[in-house]
């Protein structure tokens, strides 16, 4: 697949002109935010944005209606959220959010930081398309199934599968080799892509790319590839850490985190992890403070109940944020949850074309889109609710 237009992924230094104003995307490698960084994001959202932080399906943050891009860049730079001007858009690194704290074969948090540093130190890799995604899965199978471009997946304490285009290559490396092999694969992708900046943005878009890249690596396949099934493991609620402390997983309805709520999160003064499921994990809490956090944040709309219908629903920007949107999908998805038309459980829906928004009723995982592009649709079996006009929808049964 080739495209005529160049990769136009937004960043902090290159904003996207959305229908509701300039949009900035801030990369958060590994999803980890320190309290001061979250506070700076909350301040920026309130002072130069629309007052909200948008969580993305890659564990990044977006600010909408940015009024002063220079001021935003300066604020992010001051707290380490813009460490490289040349590489800012290529730092798309998702890691298992509970890694090193709750379960998993290996702790990949250090590898995520190391990969980010090495990526930034490699001038050629600034040319990677902004859509390329690195995944570091600690073995639980939560982020490999996002179908990233280049990744590792722990299969033992110190053994990782190299995963390309979401597929196990049969190559195995240890922790000390993992970053090197991912960077080598990234160079291989750039070489295959050539100088045509309007070419392929993702590894799976190049026929035979995985096989070609494997041939260039120092490592060869040594085993039959594993198959990674789609999973839906949003970490929600009380999570006992392996070291006796507590993590709290919290859903964020439709991924929109008000600046005021972000300030409360920053005040907890613990590392926060953004997940690719538009939720967060608050880490390293003692039990008493963890109980207080739930009591304070649940009334503010954060979701600590694993059976909440909010966890079944995602939505694209829709109107008024996207010019292509045929309807206000976020408002209408919100209304569907609030009126009990989104149910938890096995997929079930009223099928049909041009269903009025207030009659759409779907059980199970569902993604609401303002047009056929279905931006931000999660992988796996998901019912599509697609706008066909102002406040009318088509419901497509789940597909993978």
In the numeric block, the tokens 């039990």 are attached to 287
**Segment interacting with ligand SF4 (CB under 6 A) among 20-28, 131-139, 372-380, 389-397:** 372-380
According to DSSP, residue 227 is labeled P
Residues in a beta bridge with 389: 392
The residues in 324-363 that bind ligand SF4, with binding defined as CB under 6 A, are 324-325
Please state, in angstroms and rounded to a whole number, the distance separating the CA atoms of residues 317 and 153.
Answer: 31
Candidates 9-17, 20-28, 164-172, 367-375; binding stretch for ligand SF4 (CB under 6 A): 367-375
For ligand SF4, give the closer residue by CB, 207 or 372: 372
Coil, strand or helix: which one is 105?
coil
Strand (E) or helix (H) holding 388: strand 382-389
Q: Quick check: 374 binds ligand SF4 (CB under 6 A)?
A: yes
Binding mask 211-230 for ligand SF4 (x = CB under 6 A): --------------------
Strands 342-343 and 382-389: unpaired
Segment interacting with ligand SF4, rule: CB under 6 A, options 61-69, 147-155, 239-247, 310-318: 310-318
Between CA 381 and CA 139, with CA 254 as vertex, the angle to 5 degrees is 50
Check binding of 370 to ligand SF4 (CB under 6 A). Answer: yes
Per CB under 6 A, 16 contacts ligand SF4: no
User: Which range touches ligand SF4 (CB under 6 A), out of 86-94, 260-268, 276-284, 318-326?
Assistant: 318-326
Closest distance to ligand SF4 from the beta carbon of 351 (Å): 20
Q: List, in order, residues 6 or more apart from 208 with CB less than 8 Å away.
A: none
| Sole binder of ligand SF4 in the list 96, 109, 369, 383 (CB under 6 A) | 369
* 255 near ligand SF4 (CB under 6 A): no
Within 304-384, where are the H helices?
329-338
Taking CA atoms, 178 is separated from 134, 351, 369, in Å, by 12, 46, 37
Q: Interface with ligand SF4 by CB under 6 A: which range of 50-58, 193-201, 287-295, 319-327?
A: 319-327
Shortest distance, position 324 Cβ to ligand SF4, whole Å: 4
Q: What is the chain's alpha carbon radius of gyration, rounded to the nearest angstrom?
A: 21
Q: Which residues of 61-97 are buried (b: 16+ CB within 10 A; e: fewer)?
A: bbbbbbeeeeebbebbeebebbebeebbbbbbbbbbb
- Work out whether 23 is an interface residue with ligand SF4 (CB under 6 A): no
Asked whether position 55 contacts ligand SF4 by CB under 6 A, the answer is: no
Give 255 or 318: the residue with its C-beta nearer to ligand SF4. Answer: 318
Strand partners of residue 93? 134
Which residue number places its CB atom closest to ligand SF4? 370
Binding site for ligand SF4 (CB under 6 A): 316-318, 322, 324-325, 369-371, 373-375
């Amino acid at each position: 697949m080739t495209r005529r237009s160049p990769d136009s992924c937004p960043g902090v230094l290159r904003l996207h002109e959305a229908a509701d104003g300039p949009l900035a995307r801030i990369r958060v490698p590994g999803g980890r935010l320190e309290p001061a960084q979250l506070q700076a994001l909350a301040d920026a959202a309130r002072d130069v944005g629309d007052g909200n932080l948008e969580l993305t399906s890659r564990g990044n943050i977006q600010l909408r209606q940015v009024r002063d891009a220079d001021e935003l860049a300066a604020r992010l730079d001051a707290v380490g959220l813009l460490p490289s001007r040349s590489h800012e858009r290529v730092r798309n690194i998702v890691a298992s959010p509970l890694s090193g704290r709750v379960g998993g074969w290996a702790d990949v948090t250090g590898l995520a930081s190391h990969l980010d540093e090495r990526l930034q130190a490699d001038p050629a890799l600034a040319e990677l398309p902004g859509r390329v995604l690195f995944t570091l899965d600690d073995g639980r199978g939560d982020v490999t199934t996002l179908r990233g471009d280049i990744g590792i997946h722990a299969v033992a304490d110190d053994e990782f599968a190299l995963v390309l285009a979401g597929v196990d290559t049969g190559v195995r490396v240890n922790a000390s080799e993992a970053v090197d092999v991912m960077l080598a694969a990234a160079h291989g992708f750039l070489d295959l892509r050539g100088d045509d900046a309007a070419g392929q943005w993702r590894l799976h878009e190049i026929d035979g790319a995985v096989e070609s890249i494997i041939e260039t690596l120092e490592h060869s396949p040594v085993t039959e590839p594993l198959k990674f099934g789609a999973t839906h493991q949003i970490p929600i609620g009380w999570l006992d850490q392996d070291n006796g402390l507590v993590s709290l997983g919290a859903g964020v309805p439709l991924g929109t985190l008000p600046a005021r709520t972000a300030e409360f999160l920053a005040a907890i003064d613990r590392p926060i992890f953004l997940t690719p499921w538009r939720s967060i994990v608050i880490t390293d809490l003692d039990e008493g403070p963890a109980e207080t956090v739930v009591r304070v944040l649940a009334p503010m709309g954060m979701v600590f109940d694993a059976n909440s219908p909010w966890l079944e629903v995602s939505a694209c920007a829709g109107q008024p944020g996207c010019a292509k949107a045929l309807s206000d999908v976020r408002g209408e998805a919100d209304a569907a949850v609030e009126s009990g038309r989104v149910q938890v459980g096995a997929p079930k829906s009223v099928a049909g074309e041009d269903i009025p928004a207030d009659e759409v009723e779907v059980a199970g995982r569902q993604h609401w889109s303002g047009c056929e592009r279905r931006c931000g649709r999660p992988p796996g079996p998901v019912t599509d609710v697609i706008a066909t006009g102002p406040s009318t929808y088509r419901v497509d049964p789940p597909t993978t």
